[in-house]
Every structure is written in structure tokens, then in C-alpha cells.
Structure 1
Amino acid sequence: MASGVKRTARSETRQGAALPWRLTDGGRQILMITSRETRRWVIPKGGRMVGKTDPEAAAQEAMEEAGVRGEMDPTSIGVFRYAKGLKDGGVRQCVVSVYPLEVLVQLGAWPEAHQRERRWMSLSEAADLVHEPDLAALIRDFDATPLED
């Protein structure tokens, strides 16, 4: 580069995520899954997909990773960032748009069932268990969002 500044930072990779939720007598619950490598509690997410909108891609990730289908809200409730560890030891910065998914169907068998655990939990428990502060804030804010009739 002419300025003599070395560019080492890559641009962030954009991803979409589903926030699978259901309404119970005790209020809203979130379906959390474990990541394959670190076994941390996360929400279903993945990269953009050719021919799909970000909410459609997030819905597909929810089916593959958590075994759920439902009504996807096409409007993101916000974004969070995280550092994705790569197989070569490197790290990629990701920015993830989050879309609420009201779960209508929970499958007994799904593509990644043997690779992940899934568990319904309260929004406050889910927010406490995730490692990303921005995602925890989105989950807590979602708990305060009124339900539409």
C-alpha cells in the first residue's frame, strides 16, 4: 500500500442466527444448543447462503443444528460479534444478525443431533450462560419485548 501501513485485519464475516423461542406458562423460553468444538451454549447460526435471505439461512441453521422449525421473524433484533476459532489455529471475527424464531415443531432426530446438546431454558439463564456480552444483552432485551397478538 502506498501509505506504508500494513493491513492485517480482515473484514468481519457476516452470519445469521436464529433465536428459537416458545411461550410456556412461565413465560418465554429459549432453545440453546452446544457448539461442536468447545461445548459452550450458543444459538444456531451460520454463514450466508446463496439464494436465501439471512432470516431464511438462519431458519435452515436452526433446523440443522437444533432440530426446530417455526415462524421466523424477518426483522433482526440486533447483532453480536464473536471470534470464531479456525481449524488452522487462526481466528475470524464474525458479526451475527439475530432473528427470532417461534418454534412450532421440534424434531426428535435432526442432522446434527449426534454433535450437539439442546436445552430449553429461561431467557435469564440463557443470557447468563452465553460468553458474548452483546448476545446476552439481546436475549435480555428480547425477554422485555411485548408479544404481538
Structure 2
Amino acid sequence: MTVTANPVYRNVPSPLHAILLAGTVPLFLGALLSDIAYFKTYEIQWSNFASWLIAAGLVFCGLALLFALVNLFRADQKSGRPAVYLLLLLVTWVIGLVNAFEHAKDAWAAMPMGLYLSVVITVLACIAAWTGLTNLRSGGAQ
């Protein structure tokens, strides 16, 4: 007796994609922690640290976004998960860019909106990394 089943194809991120995606989380988290430190101490250097961390997070997120776009074209069209992943990264990048513009203001003018935006992009980066780093499957049970 021969039993055949539909094979399960896993679409996992490449190592470079995973590094870029995973790198966005600590960079945006570092920016959030710097914003919190600035909010509590009013030391302007914390705002500068946050600005640089946001810029680096945008680079990592933008490159991961390119990988996600390629993955969307290669993925099975029945599954909507690659599209959700791409959309999460895109929203994270756009709000991160708005946050970078907010931090480009004078340090006193960047608060509290810069802190709020840092919270949002950190949460979005965590959700995007969770979505992107889990094994994406097509066919079979999920």
C-alpha cells in the first residue's frame, strides 16, 4: 500500500534576509530606549542616539522590504501571508521615516511625538520579524 501526500513546501527567509529582518528589532528598540532616556533626563545626546538608531533601522528594514518583495513574487498565490509580511514591513518603514523626520527637529520639539512613534515602530518591527521569521508553508496543514 502506497500513501502519497501533497508535499509541504517551506519558504524560509535566506540568512541575509533573516539578519536584516532581525536587525530591525534591536535598532528600533534601541531608539525607543534612547527616547525614553531623553524623556526622563533631557540630555540631548539621547535624542541624537535615537536619530542614528532610527536611520540604521530604516536601512535594515528597507533592505528586508526588498527581500520581502521578491518573496511575494515567488510565493504561492493562495497564501496571503507573504503579502501581510510585506505590508507590515512597508508600514514599519513609512512610520519609521516619519519618526526620522520627527527626530530631525530640534531635540525639544521631537518630544513626545518621537517617543510615541518609536513605540509604534518597535511594536510593528517585532510583529514583522515574528511574521517573517516563522516558517511560511504552502500546502498541507498550517
Shared fold per TM-score greater than 0.5? no
Compare the two structures and name the one with the higher helix fraction.
2
TM (norm. structure 1) is 0.29
Q: Greater relative contact order (Cα 8 A, min sep 6): structure 1 or 2?
A: 2
Compare the two structures and name the one with the higher strand fraction.
1
Bigger-Rg structure (1/2) = 2
TM (norm. structure 2) is 0.30
